[in-house]
Amino acid sequence: MATHRLTFPTSEEEIRSLRAGDEVTVDGHIIGIRDRTQIRIFDQGVEPPIDLAGALLLHTAPNVRKVGPGRYEKLCIGTTTSARMVRFTEPLGERYGVRAICGKGGLPDEAIEPMRRLGMVYFAIVGGAAALETTQIEEIEEVAWEDLMPECLWKFRVKDFGPLTVGIDSHGTSLYHDVQEAARERLEGIIARL
Amino acid sequence: MAMVETDLQGVVEDAAAHLYVWALKDIPQDLRDALAEALTRETSVPGRRVLETIVRNVAVADEEKNLVCQDTGIAVYTCRVGEGFPLHPAGIYEALKTGTARATLEHPLRSNAVHTITRENTGPNIGHRLPIVHWEFIADWDGLDVKCVPKGSGSENMSFLKMCVPADGVKGIKQFVLESIVGAGGKPCPPGIVGVGIGGSADYAMYLAKEAIARPIGTRNFDPIVARLEDELYQLLNETGIGPMGLGGDVTVLQCHIEHADTHMTLNPVAVNYQCWAARRASVHVSADGTVDFDREA
Ligand code: SF4
């Protein structure tokens, strides 16, 4: 299991070099997004005003303080459960060139095939470790769709963001799938012994 | 008499406001110990990475005086009210509600409360029947204990109830708990505390499961039969290999706690309530004279 340092936005080539289980630390820019943000893009057909090409998306609804028109200061920024948003994986890659999605708890198996085909990965963050995550976000640079607060489209500048684990890679491997399969097998054995 | 009541209401309100924020920032020592101990047991690479990050995160929260986790949850309180406590429970409820709102506005904390149908925000972590308060009444005592357990949605969403039949026996109970936790995978931010409620009725079983997650880690049920089941399920759950954040590993749960109640001869309900690694809880003891004593470990 290798260790990588990546700056986002990034290229397909970099993404293809990652394998499930690898550790990744991120610098550069990441985009905060959540349920309502993606419902607006895909179900209501509104084009996102921030470029998503090569981007790393973070499933989040940050705690922030308003400090001026369109300006926000971070208070506590953490990550939410990703599984609810799995249906947006394919269009995010296909239409907008998104390269990575970061969240907690993993994406169901239906994300494996589009990630393989389009050259995308899923990064597992440590859910709930928001105190640490907040220190790794240097600044909130841009906010769009403030009417969806806190489920706006956020642009964060980050440094040493991580450690993240490649949960699903672009070669068809998902740790979540493998762990579930192994656990179900063990479970059968355990239940037989009860 | 009226004067005393007004004062006590203010005391309980102040205590609740402090309790909610404190619980979110400073996790109990038994939880810190359990997380450190988990790290010594974990052998998988991603699992160790997760546990190391959790321990680091708790230290950063201490240093920065920030929240341990961003999800300020739903505020749940358990009150033990002595029969001689001079403030009526109706007044205690008002004080807890106002205290929760004040904490949310003054800190400020993210407000999670929404109308369950319209999904519109209903206020600073308060609303119709929010916060949630459970009551116990104690004879021959004039004090009040309040325990605050902010409950995150990631783990609360992983709650499961099954009305087993008596013929399913204890085996059916064990199987349901194991299947629930494997099915939950990484979603409830493991490793955490698995609360199991057995017996009573459907609603009471879930209440008992919730009571179980709020116990100090590793405490055991007073009934030795149930305590043995806690030990066994704790072992078996960790054999599943789900691991920290569901990435695979030796530590799937920090503990398994069970609360039980006697039940009807044709009932065998079992409820599972998951508490994530950020198992926040904090307590306060209020005396009849208004003296306040905060206790993180209760
Ligand atoms: S499940 Fe717990 S640790 Fe995870 S994000 Fe929710 S409250 Fe935080």
Q: Taking Cα atoms as reference points, which of B286, B13, B289, B21 lies closest to residue B148? A: B21
- The three-state DSSP-derived secondary structure of chain B is CHHHHHHHHHHHHHHHHHHHHHHHHCCCHHHHHHHHHHHHHCCCHHHHHHHHHHHHHHHHHHHHCCCCCCCCCEEEEEEEEECCCCCCHHHHHHHHHHHHHHHHHHCCCCCCCECCCCCCECCCCCECCECEEEEEEECCCCCEEEEEEEECHHHHCCEEEEEECHHHHHHHHHHHHHHHHHHHCCCCCCCEEEEEEEECCHHHHHHHHHHHHCCCCCCCCCCHHHHHHHHHHHHHHHCCCCCHHHCCCCCCEEEEEEEEECCCCCCEEEEEEEECCCCCCEEEEECCCCCEEEECCC
| Residue B159 beta carbon below 6 angstroms from any ligand 1 atom | no
State yes or no: pLDDT of B134 exceeds 50: yes
Check CB contact under 8 Å for B54 and A167.
no
On the 0-12 / 13-18 / 19+ scale of CB atoms within 10 A, B224 is: exposed
Mean per-residue pLDDT for B75-96? 97
On the 0-12 / 13-18 / 19+ scale of CB atoms within 10 A, B198 is: buried
Instruction: State percent of chain A over pLDDT 70.
Output: 100
State yes or no: pLDDT of B39 exceeds 60: yes
What distance, in Å, lies between the first and last C-alpha atoms of chain B? 31
Averaged pLDDT score across all residues of chain A: 96
Residues of B in contact with A133 (CB under 8 A): 57, 70
**Residue A178, min C-alpha distance to chain B (Å):** 9
Q: How confident is the model at residue B110 (pLDDT cuts 50, 70, 90)?
A: confident
Beta bridge partners of B253: B192
Chain A, 93 to 132: residues with Cβ < 8 Å from chain B are 104-106, 124, 126-132
pLDDT for position B5: 47
Predicted confidence (pLDDT) per residue in A31-85, tens digit:
999 999 999 999 999 999 999 999 999 999 898 999 999 999 999 999 999 999 9
State yes or no: pLDDT of B17 exceeds 70: yes
- Domain residue spans in chain A? 3-193
pLDDT for position B120: 87
ipTM comes to 0.94
Q: Hey, which of B155, B159, B253, B277 would you mutate to test ligand 1's pocket, going by the most ligand atoms within 8 Å of its Cβ?
A: B155
Cis check: omega of the bond before B190, within 30 degrees of 0? no
| Residue B276 beta carbon below 6 angstroms from any ligand 1 atom | yes
Determine the residue of chain A that is closest to B72 in CA distance: A63
pLDDT for position B6: 54
Check CB contact under 8 Å for B240 and A186.
yes
**Residue B99, min C-alpha distance to chain A (Å):** 20
| Residue B278 beta carbon below 6 angstroms from any ligand 1 atom | yes
Ligand 1 centroid to A125 CA: how many Å? Answer: 12
Assign 3-state DSSP to chain A and report helix, strand, coil percentages, each to 5: 35, 35, 30
pLDDT for position B119: 86
Residues of B in contact with A169 (CB under 8 A): none
Q: What contacts A115, CB < 8 A, 6 or more positions away? A: A89, A93, A121, A122, A168, A169, A170
Q: How confident is the model at residue B298 (pLDDT cuts 50, 70, 90)?
A: confident
Mean per-residue pLDDT for B248-270? 98
| Residue A131 beta carbon below 6 angstroms from any ligand 1 atom | no
Across A11-15, A64-68, A154-158, B54-58, least confident range: A64-68
Mutate to test the interface with A, among B65, B107, B245 (most CBs of A within 10 A): B245
Predicted confidence (pLDDT) per residue in A20-40, tens digit:
999 999 999 999 999 999 999
Check CB contact under 8 Å for A131 and B179.
no
Q: Taking Cα atoms as reference points, which of A112, A109, A107, A104 lies closest to residue A85? A: A107
pLDDT for position B212: 98
State yes or no: pLDDT of B166 exceeds 80: yes
CA atoms in the 13 A half-sphere facing the CB of B9: 15
Ligand 1 centroid to B140 CA: how many Å? Answer: 39
| Residue B158 beta carbon below 6 angstroms from any ligand 1 atom | no
Please name the helix (run of DSSP H) or strand (run of DSSP E) that holds residue A95, with its range, or none.
helix A89-96
**Residue B186, min C-alpha distance to chain A (Å):** 4
Closest CB from B53, B186, B239 relative to A163 = B53
pLDDT for position B1: 43
pLDDT for position A61: 87
Ligand 1 centroid to A135 CA: how many Å? Answer: 18
Predicted confidence (pLDDT) per residue in A83-104, tens digit:
999 999 999 999 999 999 999 9
Check CB contact under 8 Å for B66 and A105.
no
Ligand 1 centroid to B213 CA: how many Å? Answer: 14
pLDDT for position A1: 84
Averaged pLDDT score across all residues of chain B: 95
On the 0-12 / 13-18 / 19+ scale of CB atoms within 10 A, A38 is: buried
The angle at the Cα of B271, spanning B266 to B277, to the nearest 5 degrees, equals 165
B269 at interface of A, judged by CB pairs closer than 8 A: no
Residues in chain B, total: 298
For residues B236, B242, B245, B251, the Cα torsion angle rounded to the nearest 10 degrees is 40
In chain B the domains, ranked by start, together with CATH numbers, are 2-25+69-150+280-295 (3.30.360), 153-275 (no CATH)
Ligand 1 centroid to B142 CA: how many Å? Answer: 36
Residues of B in contact with A150 (CB under 8 A): 110
Ligand 1 centroid to B31 CA: how many Å? Answer: 15
| Residue A105 beta carbon below 6 angstroms from any ligand 1 atom | no
**The domain defined by A3-193 carries CATH number 3.20.130.10:** yes
Residues of A in contact with B247 (CB under 8 A): 124, 165, 167, 175-176, 179
Mean per-residue pLDDT for B204-230? 97
Exposed e or buried b for every residue in A11-24, given b needs 16+ CB within 10 A? eeebbeebebbbbb
Indicate the SS3 state at residue A85.
Answer: helix
pLDDT for position B79: 98
